[in-house]
Structure 1
Amino acid sequence: MKLNAAQLSRQLQDQLAPVYVVSGDDPLLTAEVADQIRAACRQAGSEERQVYHVERSFDWAQLHDASHSLSLFAQKRLIELRIPGGKPGDEGGKAILAWLDMPPEDTTLLISLPKLDGASQRTKWAKALTDHPQSRFIQIWPIEAQQLPGWMRDRLASAGLHASPEALDLLSARVEGNLLAAAQEIEKLKLYCQNGQLDLQTVQQVVADSARFDVFNLVDAMLKAQPEQALRILQGLRSEGVEAPIVLWSLAREVRALANMAQDIRRNIPLDRIFASQRPPVWDKRKPLLTQALQRHPVQAWEQWLRDAQIIDEQIKGQHPGSAWDGLGAMVVGVAGLRLALMAAPAS
């Protein structure tokens, strides 16, 4: 039986099912759902917990033995079966089906899976986990970019914080694609918001200490046409051990957005409409920065920098000659408005 998160909360309050399956790729969301099930098991009296990690050499007889053995320490117990590869194989599929057909009394089985691919979903064991009356299958869907501000708002509210629109947009942008980082930042922000009000300045101050967020300072210096400052930040990131893929991700993300905006400008779409259509929408204090950058370069330049980003990515992977850091530096000063010819200096 399939359940969503809200249905799971209600079901756990009624009665524990013999088998729970949590399937998804986001580490924070899947961990929190699994924690919810563990808490319900503890509340129901499950004091014993056994965890099995399924790898290639895993002996599935262990699961059979667990289902037929008596609990050593308590009347109720929780058994966790973690299958990070998402494919238990023929032997594992048979073991899962056998458990579903005869689940042991006073035992809850929690199976953790990544998001199942199409082939896995068609297997007999996967269909049984989703449809069997003894099983509760919880599919964890990723938070899409357009859903992130709403998710962040709810998460902040649960922590007793109310964020201004600007603070919410900035925080959402800086943790996009990493909900675990978002949860960690919210816990840190709680320490700085005694009255529960979170503003833009607080977000900027709190995240400034992290080298991970210095990448965003690099983007701002680049867009503000400050090539020397941008290069200093880039060199600082490199010296602090920040990996080139992290820097490239941030720069390419910004350049890609600006390339799309430049194409919209060429189609005579008003700039206000372009800013409003972004996800998340561009907040007011950032509009002048992006406007200046868009006025500084034509659409062809943004498209060229996207091609440059692809080359840098290949350099990082060793598939293209040259230094990725040199390529990042050239992109930064180029977007900042400094001609590459001005960068050249005679060898000393």
Structure 2
Amino acid sequence: MRIKSNQISNYFSNNIPKICVTYGYELLINLEINQKIRNYVKKHGYNNRVILFVDQNFDWTELESQVLNLSLFESKKLIEIRLQNNKLTKFGSTALEKLTSLDLSNVFILITLSTFDRKILASPWYKAIEKKGLMVESKPIDRFMLPEWITEKLAKQKQIASKEIIQLIVDRVEGNLMAASQEIKKIGLLLPQGTLEFDDVVKSLKNVSRYDISDIGHAILDRDRERFVKIVNTLHIEGQAPSLILWAIMQEIRVLLLIKIKIEEGSSAAKAIADSRVWGVRKKLLPRIVFLTNKPEIIKIMNKGHQTDLTIKGLIKEDPWCSITNLGLFIIGIIDRKTLPSSA
């Protein structure tokens, strides 16, 4: 069965599937969906949690072993399978298909996709799980829906904002949902419940931090090494999660790759950029870069990003923040070698 992310509460109030797959284009919504699912299944006794990070070197026999073998101290188990790459090996696809035939009476399986490609909907393992499990798709929040989304998030903090305040936040985050969530949390921490005053919101957003994660992509696309390093160091000092910094960097690369694919399929550059939901400063910077980078370079960047991801997860012994900084400088180096015109 396939449902949309906003149908989760109704579904889980009456059902607990044995397998659930979550996917979509928006990281923040995916994270929120997964947390909701964890909360629901925990209420039904799935208190023991195992996380399996699936990359090219993953041993798929580990999955079946985790499903079939409960320890003496486990009654029910939540197994999270985090697919780092949607292109599974034949063995991996078979292992996921086989889940539907295993005894899952004491196991709940949550499969999450780190990136999303619609071709996956036609894969054998997806079709097999869809027949017996639950598939949850998170739709992106476009710029026209963003004001309503921000209003709802503020309301959960028991704060009421005028249209002017909502528009201020929309303009500040330029369509970046993760950045919008950060700004909303700042307002919740600094300002009281009730009706918000415009000047108070402006002051709180300016004073909390010089930078947020949405600034990282701007600095990279603008080839500003010094600013990029300052942003990373500032966010590090402020306690920002390195996984979110990596997401902000790789999001720019994923968008760049998506645009290049659309152009190869026959779209004009302008239409490809518009269809890829590029706004604000990015809309000015990306057209200069699209034709000056090639797919092998982008794949190199994706691979280096994957190595940084493994470092953050502790699977590679290296300082995560050094790895993030090196990744950003590596990307800027590729762009800069193309002798782009100044963005000024």
Q: 1:310 to 1:168 in 2, by over 3 A?
A: same
> What SS does structure 2 have at the residue aligned with 1:80?
strand
1:301-340 aligned at under 5 Å gives the runs 310=288, 316=332, 317-321=335-339, 327-328=342-343, 331=344
User: What is the alpha-carbon distance in structure 2 between the residues aligned to residue 185 and residue 39 of structure 1?
Assistant: 25
Cα deviation for residue 240 of structure 1 reads 8.0
Q: TM-score, normalised by structure 2?
A: 0.63
Q: 1:100 to 1:309 in 2, by over 3 A?
A: closer
Cα deviation for residue 173 of structure 1 reads 1.4
8 Å contact 1:17–1:136 — kept in the other structure? yes
Q: Which residue of 1 aligns with 2:238?
A: none
Which amino acid in the other structure matches residue 159 of structure 1? Q
Q: Which residue of 2 aligns with 1:120?
A: 120
- Unaligned stretches of 5+ residues in structure 2: 216-223, 233-247, 253-276, 278-282, 293-330
**1:88-124 CA distance string (max 9 Å, x none):** 2211111111111224211100000145424322211
1:182 aligns with 2:171: no
Q: Which residue of 1 aligns with 2:245?
A: none
User: What is the alpha-carbon distance in structure 1 between the residues aligned to residue 136 and residue 168 of structure 2?
Assistant: 31
Q: TM-score, normalised by structure 1?
A: 0.63
User: What is the alpha-carbon distance in structure 2 between the residues aligned to residue 43 and residue 67 of structure 1?
Assistant: 20
Q: Which residue of 2 aligns with 1:211?
A: 210
Decide which moves more: 198-207 or 137-146: 198-207
- Unaligned stretches of 5+ residues in structure 1: 217-234, 250-278, 280-304, 332-348
User: What is the alpha-carbon distance in structure 2 between the residues aligned to residue 117 and residue 6 of structure 1?
Assistant: 21
User: What is the alpha-carbon distance in structure 1 between the residues aligned to residue 228 and residue 76 of structure 2?
Assistant: 53
User: What is the alpha-carbon distance in structure 1 between the residues aligned to residue 120 and residue 4 of structure 2?
Assistant: 20
Q: Which residue of 2 aligns with 1:201?
A: 199
**1:187-207 CA distance string (max 9 Å, x none):** 221233324222321221112
User: What is the alpha-carbon distance in structure 2 between the residues aligned to residue 85 and residue 96 of structure 1?
Assistant: 14
8 Å contact 1:46–1:74 — kept in the other structure? no
> What SS does structure 2 have at the residue aligned with 1:52?
strand
User: What is the alpha-carbon distance in structure 2 between the residues aligned to residue 24 and residue 105 of structure 1?
Assistant: 28
User: What is the alpha-carbon distance in structure 1 between the residues aligned to residue 39 and residue 290 of structure 2?
Assistant: 46
Q: Which residue of 2 aligns with 1:222?
A: none
> What SS does structure 2 have at the residue aligned with 1:33?
helix
Which amino acid in the other structure matches residue 230 of structure 2? G
> What SS does structure 1 have at the residue aligned with 2:211?
helix
**1:210-250 CA distance string (max 9 Å, x none):** 2237x99xxxxxxxxxxxxxxxxxx9x9498248x99xx9x
State the Cα RMSD in Å: 3.3
Determine what percentage of the aligned residue pairs are the same residue: 28
Decide which moves more: 203-212 or 143-152: 203-212
Cα deviation for residue 85 of structure 1 reads 1.2
1:1-348 aligned at under 5 Å gives the runs 1-129=1-129, 131-132=130-131, 134-209=132-207, 210-212=209-211, 238=227, 241-242=230-231, 310=288, 316=332, 317-321=335-339, 327-328=342-343, 331=344
Which amino acid in the other structure matches residue 288 of structure 2? Q
Larger gyration radius, structure 1 or structure 2: 1
Q: 1:61 to 1:201 in 2, by over 3 A?
A: same
User: What is the alpha-carbon distance in structure 2 between the residues aligned to residue 147 and residue 114 of structure 1?
Assistant: 24
